Chains A and B, each alone.
Chain A
Amino acid sequence: MPHDARVAIRQPALTPRMRRVLVSVVLAAVCAVWIYPLLWMVSASLKDNAAIFANEGLIPGRPTFENYVRAWKEANIGSYFFNTVFVTVGSVLLVTIASSMMGYVLGRRRFVGRGLIFALIAFTIFVPQGYTIIPIFDLLTRIGLGQSLWGVMLATCGGSFVIFVLLFAGYFSQIPNELEEAAKMDGVSFVKTFWYVMLPLARPIVVTVVVMQTLYAWNDFLLPLVVTLANPSIRTLSVGVYAFRGENFIDWGGMTAASTISILPVVVLFLFLQRYFIDGLAGAVKG
Chain B
Amino acid sequence: MSDFTVSSSLRRRLGARIWSSRIDYLFLVPGMLIFGAFILYPIFAAEYFSLLNWSGFDANAKFVGLANYVELLRDPFFWNAFGRSFLFTLSTVPAQMIISLIIAIILNNKLLKLSALFRTMIFLPVVTPVAVIGIVMTIMLSPFNGPINMAILDIGLLSRPLDFLGDPDLVLWTLAAIYVWKWVGVTMVYWLAALQTVPAELYEACKLDGVKGWQVTLYVIMPMIMPFAIVIALISAISALNVFPLIMSMTQGGPYFASEVMEVYIFRYAFATAGAIPRLGYASAAGVFFGLAIMSLTILQVLAVRHLRNREKPHAA
Contacts and interface: CB of A to CB of B under 8 A. Distances in A.
Interface of A: 16, 20, 23-24, 27-28, 30-31, 34-35, 37-38, 40-41, 44, 53, 55, 94-95, 97-99, 101-102, 104-105, 109-112, 117, 120-121, 123-139, 141, 146, 154-155, 157-158, 161-163, 165, 190, 194, 215, 218-219, 221-222, 225-226, 229, 237-239, 241-242, 245, 252, 255-256, 259, 262-263, 266-267, 269-271, 274-275, 277-279, 281-282, 284-286
Interface of B: 14, 17-18, 21, 23-25, 27-28, 30-35, 37-43, 45-46, 49, 57-58, 103, 106-107, 109, 111-114, 116, 118-140, 145, 147, 150, 181, 189-190, 192-194, 196-197, 228, 231, 234-235, 238, 241-242, 244-245, 248-249, 262-263, 266-267, 270-271, 280, 283-284, 286-288, 290-291, 294-295, 298
Contact of A128 (B37, B132, B294): B294
Given A127-B291, A267-B124, A277-B189, A161 B112 contact: no
A161 B145 contact: no
Contact of B127 (A132, A141, A215, A282): A215
29 contacts: A20-B112, A23-B112, A24-B114, A38-B128, A44-B139, A55-B150, A121-B35, A126-B298, A127-B294, A128-B238, A129-B263, A130-B262, A132-B38, A134-B280, A138-B280, A141-B57, A154-B38, A158-B34, A221-B131, A222-B244, A237-B129, A238-B130, A239-B131, A242-B134, A262-B131, A266-B127, A274-B123, A275-B116, A281-B192
Contacts of B192: 278, 281-282
Contacts of A252: 139
B28 A130 contact: no
A274 B196 CA distance: 15
Contacts of A55: 145, 147, 150
Given A130-B267, A221-B130, A267-B127, 10 more contacts: A31-B121, A102-B35, A124-B39, A138-B49, A138-B280, A139-B42, A157-B34, A158-B37, A158-B38, A278-B192
A194 to B, nearest CB: 8
Main secondary structure of the interface of B (DSSP, over half): helix
Nearest to B270: A134
A238 B130 CA distance: 7
Nearest to A54: B145
Nearest to A252: B139
Contacts of A237: 129, 131
A31 B244 contact: no
A166 to B, nearest CB: 11
Nearest to A104: B27
B121 A37 contact: no
Nearest to B114: A24
A162 B14 contact: no
A135 B30 contact: no
Contacts of B41: 135, 139
Contact of B271 (A221, A229, A267): A229
Contacts of B116: 274-275
A136 B38 contact: yes
A165 B138 CA distance: 37
A271 to B, nearest CB: 7
Contacts of B235: 163
Contacts of B267: 130, 222
Q: Which 6 A-B pairs have the closest CB atoms?
A: A158-B38, A102-B31, A132-B42, A135-B42, A221-B245, A135-B45
Contacts of A27: 103, 106-107, 112, 118
Nearest to A55: B150
Nearest to B20: A111
B46 A131 contact: yes
A16 B111 CA distance: 9
Contacts of A105: 24, 27-28
A129 B121 contact: no
A31 B45 CA distance: 45
